[in-house]
Amino acid sequence: MTAANAQISQTLVLPYLNHAVRMYEEGYASRADIDAGMRFGCGYPVGPLATIDATGVDVVRDALAARYAETGDPLHKPADLLEKLVAEGRTGRAAGRGLYTYADGEVVDDEEAPSADSAPQLRHQISTVGVVGTGTMASGIVEVFAKAGYDVVYVGRSDEKVAGVRAGIEKSLDKAIAKGKFEESAKGDVLARLTPATSREALADVDLVVEAIAEDLAVKTELFADLDRICRAGAILATTTSSLPITACADATSRPEAVIGMHFFNPAPVMKLVEVVTTDATAADVDETVRALCKAVGKVAVSCGDRAGFIVNALLFPYLNDAVKLAEAGEHDLTTIDEAIKAEAGFPMGPFQLLDVVGNDVSLAIQKELFEEFKEPGLAPAATLEQVVAEGRLGRKTGKGFHDYS
């Protein structure tokens, strides 16, 4: 550990931890779902709330207070819950109580821990799933459901597009077989569950539809209005959107109680996390069914409400944006920041490496949505992030981003 690396890590990680506490204290998501979201959605070794307990709630509180005194940024002011926990002596794992409860250094059940009989159940029968879209995410979702034993009707705009989905799934299965992760004998069964279509009318009898089309609200609301017309009564209508308001999709239908978010992470066959996002109108039995379905297909479901960023993006992108601002200050170069975060925080990628993988245009769009939603000056997109996008340096997909891949 070097002093410079530790300082970089503190500068970027402390606000992220503070955001996570505020998300929890607002009741937006449970402590377990916040931590699971960052572990399974970003590959972090430990969730933010567990990190605070391990570090010491008082230590984190004091470090944030010092940072707030230096910057005056309200996002750096220690969350009220941190102050409350310190006042109560709940200073983390070493004290036996923090955000979680501990015995011999291990988390134990407390009043907030879900009971064994609270596991979600399928309140709606799900046997046939519809998927709208033919891109990477849609194809991955088709594969997830088919491998889990569900019949899947998938809809694209042309025969060529839907044929591409099947070819992509065959290729994926062949890779898994070659690596010993899938049985050759099961390949035929998976492919037999696939039904391609070029008309949405083919979705008339499915039990649940998952849309994975363009992140364009007008396009999505048109689709949901059409699904409302086509799909049988009782069918669940889900969107994979990572950023658009699900309520707007629900409002385009006559059944807002049946509309829900199922935000899969890319690549869907590999990534474990699904953010299950409810609107004020989503029925409890629909929410429970979707969470149970996620478990049935081998995913980890986390629950949250319909606001910008959900859990993962709302915590991840302000941290990435802060990294750009830190680089703008001129004290550290991009590689130094990347390496410091990997070494000190244990994150699998540095912030600039991750920005380039996600796509700087996507990252900028998400940061703009977070700024618009929460109105915090500290969430304003970094000038350099705006600049690299304006210059077409979008990341790995263009060969250049913050780093050069040419």
CA-CA-CA-CA dihedral for 64, 68, 74, 77, to nearest 10: 30
Are 342 and 295 in a shared domain?
A: no
Report pLDDT for 332.
94
Residues labelled catalytic: 242, 263, 275, 313
365 occurs within a structural domain? yes
Two tokens, residue 194 = 């696939």
- Which of 111, 137, 154 is the endpoint of a domain? 111
The enclosing H or E element of 107 equals strand 106-108
Residues 6+ away with beta carbon under 8 Å from 234:
124, 207, 258
Rounded Cα–Cα distance for residues 345 and 12 (Å): 10
Are 299 and 316 in a shared domain?
A: no
Report pLDDT for 115.
82
**Residue ranges making up the domain that contains 19:** 3-111
234 occurs within a structural domain? yes
Are 168 and 258 in a shared domain?
A: yes
33 occurs within a structural domain? yes
114: closest CA among 290, 315, 288, 309?
288
Region of 399 on the Ramachandran plot (φ > 0 left; ψ -120 to 50 alpha; else beta): left
Are 169 and 275 in a shared domain?
A: yes
- Which of 289, 305, 321 is the endpoint of a domain? 305
Are 265 and 330 in a shared domain?
A: no
Question: What DSSP letter does each residue of 133-193 carry, written as one string?
Answer: --SHHHHHHHHHHHHTT-EEEEE-SSHHHHHHHHHHHHHHHHHHHHTTSS-HHHHHHHHHT
Q: How many CB atoms lie within 10 A of CB 202?
A: 16
Q: How many domains does the chain have?
A: 3
Two tokens, residue 121 = 């159940």
14 occurs within a structural domain? yes
Are 279 and 325 in a shared domain?
A: no
**Residue 138: which CATH number?**
3.40.50.720
**Residue 371: which CATH number?**
1.10.1040.10
Mean pLDDT by 10 residues, the chain (406 residues): 87 97 98 98 97 98 97 96 98 98 96 87 97 97 98 98 97 94 94 98 98 95 98 98 94 98 95 98 98 98 97 98 97 95 96 97 95 95 98 97 95
Report pLDDT for 1.
53
Are 328 and 299 in a shared domain?
A: no
Are 102 and 149 in a shared domain?
A: no
- Which of 283, 305, 327 is the endpoint of a domain? 305
Are 220 and 335 in a shared domain?
A: no
118 occurs within a structural domain? no
Are 242 and 173 in a shared domain?
A: yes
384 occurs within a structural domain? yes
Two tokens, residue 153 = 């009707």
293 occurs within a structural domain? yes
167 occurs within a structural domain? yes
Two tokens, residue 399 = 């060969």
Exposure b/e, 95-130, CB count within 10 A at least 16 = b: bbbbbbbbeeeeeeeeeeeeeeeeebeeebebebbb
Half-sphere exposure of 326 (CA within 13 A, CB side): 27
Secondary-structure breakdown of the chain: helix, strand, coil percentages, each rounded to the nearest 5: 55, 15, 35
Residues 6+ away with beta carbon under 8 Å from 214:
220
Are 67 and 132 in a shared domain?
A: no
The enclosing H or E element of 103 equals strand 101-103
The number of residues in the chain equals: 406
Residues 6+ away with beta carbon under 8 Å from 171:
none
Are 166 and 279 in a shared domain?
A: yes
* Residue 227 near residue 238 (C-beta atoms within 8 A): no
